[in-house]
């Protein structure tokens, strides 16, 4: 097995996959942390579906799928940020946009040949098909996002934890929301490169969600979230190589098992001191 693994690690496509996966996992874990404490998981999920429409429209516009996806998600993210929490937490509004996006995606895809293959790649991810050029693109985008977050993370955290007090202390909730949603849009688009738009939940929500069930401080939660994201993505890609089954399956399955384990642990073992 070790031999097989080292053979695979010699292949460019596996190395590219590991790099792309790491970038998406890292950004997803950090951004996802704020998604959970801001309570906008469903909005994040919808963003990825809007990304599907974007990726499908990209071919029609003569763009790469990632470019189309970024265009649509950043636009939608900024709009969500401006329209405020009421909309971002409205299940009905988000659900309607989400389904419209999938419908639009289906419409755009119907315009070109190779319909099924393209749809499959966008919806379920094609991490083993990522080129080195795409990895570089993803790295640039990740650096931009981290730079942005490093700039205003403190304010974002305050506004996420206690918005009313933050507003009273002079923070602009709308400004922070827009900035955050744009970064979220990029994170979601990167995650879709790995697991596909339908499953970005796995990379953007799952690690932080699990970490926040366990960790009592900001930094411990953040670090656990990052570690979970990275380890699961690496394991998923390597298991995919060994078993010849899609990495998307392994990544989501590993997160699910982790989730069950953590829920079980929280329910049965931490009751006493709670």
- Please, are residues 252 and 200 in contact by the beta-carbon 8 Å criterion? no
Tell me the closest approach of the beta carbon of residue 207 to another protein, in angstroms.
14
- Contact pattern from residue 199 through residue 218 relative to another protein, giving x for each residue in contact according to CB under 8 A and a dash for the rest: ----------x--xxxxxxx
Q: How far is CA 273 from the centre of its chain?
A: 33
227 belongs to the binding site for another protein (CB under 8 A): no
Q: Which of 87, 121, 153, 235 binds another protein (CB under 8 A)?
A: 153
Per-residue burial over 36-61, b = 16 or more CB atoms within 10 Å of its CB, e = otherwise: bbbebbbbbbbbbbbbbbbbbbbbee
158 belongs to the binding site for another protein (CB under 8 A): yes
Tell me the closest approach of the beta carbon of residue 203 to another protein, in angstroms.
19
The smaller minimum CB distance to another protein, of residues 18 and 36, is found at 36
163 belongs to the binding site for another protein (CB under 8 A): yes
- Please, are residues 56 and 105 in contact by the beta-carbon 8 Å criterion? yes
- Please, are residues 215 and 224 in contact by the beta-carbon 8 Å criterion? yes
157 belongs to the binding site for another protein (CB under 8 A): yes
165 belongs to the binding site for another protein (CB under 8 A): yes
Residue 136's CB is within 10 A of a number of other CB atoms, namely 11
Contacts of 233 (CB under 8 A, 6+ apart): 21, 22, 24, 25, 194, 203, 251
State the number of binding residues for another protein (CB under 8 A). Answer: 37
Q: Which of 12, 91, 164, 244 binds another protein (CB under 8 A)?
A: 164
37 belongs to the binding site for another protein (CB under 8 A): yes
170 belongs to the binding site for another protein (CB under 8 A): yes
In degrees, rounded to 5, the angle at the alpha carbon of residue 133 between the alpha carbons of residues 130 and 139 is 90
Binding site for another protein (CB under 8 A): 36-37, 39, 150-155, 157-171, 209, 212-219, 221, 266, 273-274
């Amino acid at each position: 097995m070790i031999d097989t693994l080292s053979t695979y690690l010699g292949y460019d496509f596996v190395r590219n996959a590991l790099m792309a996966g790491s970038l998406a996992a890292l950004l997803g874990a950090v951004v996802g942390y704020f998604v959970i404490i801001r309570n906008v998981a469903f909005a994040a999920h919808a963003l990825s579906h809007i990304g599907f429409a974007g990726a499908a429209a990209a071919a029609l516009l003569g763009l790469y799928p990632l470019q189309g996806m970024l265009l649509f998600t950043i636009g939608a993210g900024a709009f969500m940020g401006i329209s405020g929490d009421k909309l971002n937490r409205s299940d009905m509004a988000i659900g309607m946009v989400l389904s419209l996006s999938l419908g639009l995606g289906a419409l755009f895809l119907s315009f070109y040949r190779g319909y099924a293959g393209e749809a499959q790649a966008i919806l379920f991810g094609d991490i083993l098909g990522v080129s080195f050029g795409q990895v570089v693109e993803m790295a640039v985008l990740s650096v931009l996002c981290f730079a942005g977050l490093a700039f205003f993370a403190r304010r974002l955290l305050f506004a996420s934890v206690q918005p009313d007090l933050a507003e009273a202390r002079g923070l602009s909730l709308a400004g922070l929301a827009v900035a955050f949603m744009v970064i979220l849009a990029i994170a979601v688009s990167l995650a879709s490169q790995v697991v596909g738009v339908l499953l970005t939940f796995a990379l953007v929500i799952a690690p932080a969600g699990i970490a926040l069930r366990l960790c009592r401080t900001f930094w411990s939660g953040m670090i656990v979230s990052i570690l979970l994201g990275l380890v699961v993505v690496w394991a998923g890609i390597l298991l995919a190589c060994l078993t010849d089954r899609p990495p998307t399956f392994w990544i989501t399955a590993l997160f699910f098992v982790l989730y069950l384990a953590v829920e079980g642990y929280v329910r049965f073992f931490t009751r006493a001191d709670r």
